[in-house]
Amino acid sequence: MSKTDTTSAANRAADAEAAAEAEAGAQLSTAPQEETSSGGPSLGPVGWVRWFWRQLTSMRVALILLFLLSLGAIPGSLIPQNGVDELKVQDFKAANPGLTPVYEKLQLFDVYSSVWFSAIYILLFVSLIGCIVPRTWQFVGQLRGRPPGAPKRLTRLPAYTSWRTEASPEQVDEAALRLLKGRRYRAHAVKGSVAGEKGYLREAGNLLFHIALIVMLVAFATGQLFKSEGGKLVVEGDGFSNTLPLYDDFRSGSLFDTDELAPFSFTLDQFTGTYEPSGPQRGTPRTFEADVSYSVPGGPDKKGKIKVNEPLVVEGTKVYLISHGYAPVVTVRDARGKAVFKGAVPLLPVDNNITSTGVIKVMDGYRNAKGEKEQLGLPAFFVPTYAGKGNGQMFSQFPALAFPALNLGAYHGDLRVDGGLPQNVYQLDRSKLDPFKDKNGDVFKQTLLPGETMKLPGGAGSVTFEKEIKEWASFQISQQPGNGLALAGAIAAIAGLAGSLFIQRRRVWVRATTGEDGVTVVEMAGLGRSESAQLPEELAGLAARLHAEAPTAPEPEPASAEDAASAADPADPADEGAEK
């Protein structure tokens, strides 16, 4: 045989050995194989479609889209959104006239319903499905298959051990098969060896994680399309029925039907708020809770308590406690002494000590000193704990009702509420109003304590600050159909991620062969998807158990000097015959 033939045979043997080792480590992951072709996609339409689909369904593109989706959510969190609070959007536009046109073109006031966010969302959804489906089928194929046979040279694997035993190869194979199956390996005998595989939950966890991402995307879409959310301010003693006209503000998804509002009602019986009375945390809230009575049509009245982050759940709808404040009870009389208004007026807090502002609007029944019909507007400024006249500005010193005081101004004329245009109930349109004047010609104002009465100039009437001060609570009534699905997806994602990170896919081979001296040689080797210190430890444990059933054979006794000399220079029978 020539030198060239010898080299070719050696190369073929090396290639066969490398192929066997590659087969031994193949399919330890269901990750799609990266294409290494340098020719690029074909120029035909079908080729371009296939190329685009392969790129879109690659894990690299899925991660990029997920990153872009996270970036896209940042402006949705920092910039006021039309679907969340339109008043804040209007305030932002008024404060930033230069940025407003740019933000509107980029749809930054409607991020989650914008074209670009929806495009990223849909592409990510398709990418994940296109990536998961083939990997799932591949994983199912691996579950139905069996581990491959052992490579030719087990010594080249990262974990290896060997010993000699007097047990026969058949006994060793039987003991190894029994051992691996007892340790929950999928094991079988193949090509004169025993092959076992373990750690399939790693790929199952990986697939579960990606499926959970799809579930959360579906939950997010469901919540955005079918959600409903509204706010309602309720004064103690008043109630609310879950119908659209009674909401102060209402927002819903594009596929939500207002007929699907859960039929129920509730009454705010009492609001309780307590605060830290002294120390460095003086005024810090300690208790916020609303006692309510609620019912559904045809059902009995029930009692409930709503706290911060502890909503009332009725017919799948959650009622959250959002905020609270005070509603002074005011009585307004006209020039004839007739009471034209009496009720609790909710005022909005402007600081943590619940300094509050608002407007008392008398729209019907009032007649001035001349007997003419007019409307009254009374700007109100309320403090639950007044420091007293001459003790600084009129701001509350404590959020509880320790020393309440109400400051009122007075305007008369047209409130402009009859024109059909919406108007903020907490603001006063003074365009067609005239102020009452005091002796100095300024707007008439007066600070009242509970039980005191303010006389309007010129005998135009009076305003009494009653001793009763009610509290109000603001509630958010919401239906979020995707919350349960999102929670399930999040839990599944955590479980899948834990499985894919902490479970190692590995294979173990045991080969028993008869040596030249007739003694069985046992070889054990392991291969994992990634390098880990646990694989050699696990292989050592398996080897120790197998060694107990197939212990090491004793070493043969060394030969004597005479036997060695005889073996080295045996006698020649021809010479012996010559001597005879």
Nearest CA-CA partner of 306 in 343, 267, 349: 267
pLDDT score at 15: 57
Quote the mean pLDDT of the chain. Answer: 85
Both tokens assigned to 385: 């704990």
User: Is 329 found in the same domain as 465?
Assistant: yes
Render pLDDT for 340-355 as a digit per residue (tens, 0 to 9).
Answer: 999 999 999 999 999 9
Render pLDDT for 109-150 as a digit per residue (tens, 0 to 9).
Answer: 988 888 999 899 889 888 888 888 888 888 888 778 888 888
Q: How far apart (Å, rounded) are the C-alpha atoms in residues 58 and 132?
A: 10
* Amino acid making up residue 446: Q
User: Is 544 found in the same domain as 419?
Assistant: no
| Domain assignment present for 475 | no
Nearest CA-CA partner of 444 in 435, 452, 453: 435
| Domain assignment present for 40 | yes
User: Is 38 found in the same domain as 161?
Assistant: no
**What would the mean pLDDT of 251-255 be, rounded to a whole number?**
82
Answer with the one of 453, 469, 485 that is the final residue of a domain.
Answer: 469
| Domain assignment present for 275 | no
Longest CA–CA separation in the chain, Å: 169
Answer with the one of 442, 469, 496 that is the final residue of a domain.
Answer: 469
| Domain assignment present for 216 | no
User: Is 161 found in the same domain as 138?
Assistant: no
User: Is 163 found in the same domain as 79?
Assistant: no
Instruction: Classify the C-alpha dihedral 397-401-402-406 as positive or negative.
Output: positive
User: Is 415 found in the same domain as 388?
Assistant: yes
Instruction: Classify the C-alpha dihedral 162-167-169-175 as positive or negative.
Output: negative
Both tokens assigned to 223: 């919540």
CATH code (residue 532)? 3.30.310.50
* Amino acid making up residue 224: Q
How many separate domains does the chain show?
3
Q: What is the dihedral of CA 200, 204, 205, 209, to 10 degrees?
A: 160
- Note down the domain range covering 134: 27-146
| Domain assignment present for 188 | yes
Contact yes or no for 475/496 (Cβ under 8 A): no
Nearest CA-CA partner of 346 in 490, 214, 248, 444: 248
Q: Which residue has the higher pLDDT, 100 or 562?
A: 100
Render pLDDT for 396-430 as a digit per residue (tens, 0 to 9).
Answer: 999 999 999 999 999 999 988 876 666 677 888 88
Nearest CA-CA partner of 506 in 529, 524, 525, 539: 529
User: Is 164 found in the same domain as 92?
Assistant: no
Q: How far apart (Å, rounded) are the C-alpha atoms in residues 73 and 71?
A: 5
User: Is 422 found in the same domain as 509?
Assistant: no
- pLDDT bin (cut points 50, 70, 90) of residue 22 is low
Strand pairing category for 356-362 and 348-349 = antiparallel
Query: What is the number of other CB atoms lying within 10 angstroms of the CB of residue 94?
Result: 9
Strand pairing category for 411-413 and 433-435 = antiparallel
Residue 99 backbone dihedrals phi, psi, to 5 degrees: -80, -25
Question: Any idea what DSSP says for residue 354?
Answer: -
pLDDT score at 3: 45
pLDDT score at 26: 55
User: Is 49 found in the same domain as 174?
Assistant: no
pLDDT score at 25: 56
Nearest CA-CA partner of 29 in 527, 382, 520: 527
| Domain assignment present for 257 | no
Contacts of 317 (CB under 8 A, 6+ apart): 242, 261, 262, 264, 477, 478, 479
Residue 36 backbone dihedrals phi, psi, to 5 degrees: -110, 10
Cite the DSSP H helix spans in 145-259: 169-182, 201-226
> Is the whole-model pTM more than 0.85?
no
Lowest mean pLDDT, pick from 56-65, 242-251, 373-382, 466-475: 56-65
CA distances from 24 to 92, 146, 161, 524, 532 (A): 63, 11, 18, 14, 18
- pLDDT bin (cut points 50, 70, 90) of residue 37 is very low
Both tokens assigned to 316: 């799948």
User: Is 140 found in the same domain as 159?
Assistant: no
| Domain assignment present for 217 | no
Helix, strand, coil percentages for the chain (3-state, nearest 5): 35, 30, 35
Give CA 275 to chain center in angstroms.
Answer: 33
| Domain assignment present for 543 | yes
**What would the mean pLDDT of 159-169 be, rounded to a whole number?**
93
- pLDDT bin (cut points 50, 70, 90) of residue 575 is very low
User: Is 335 found in the same domain as 378?
Assistant: yes
Contacts of 477 (CB under 8 A, 6+ apart): 229, 230, 231, 232, 240, 242, 247, 317, 318, 319, 320
User: Is 454 found in the same domain as 340?
Assistant: yes
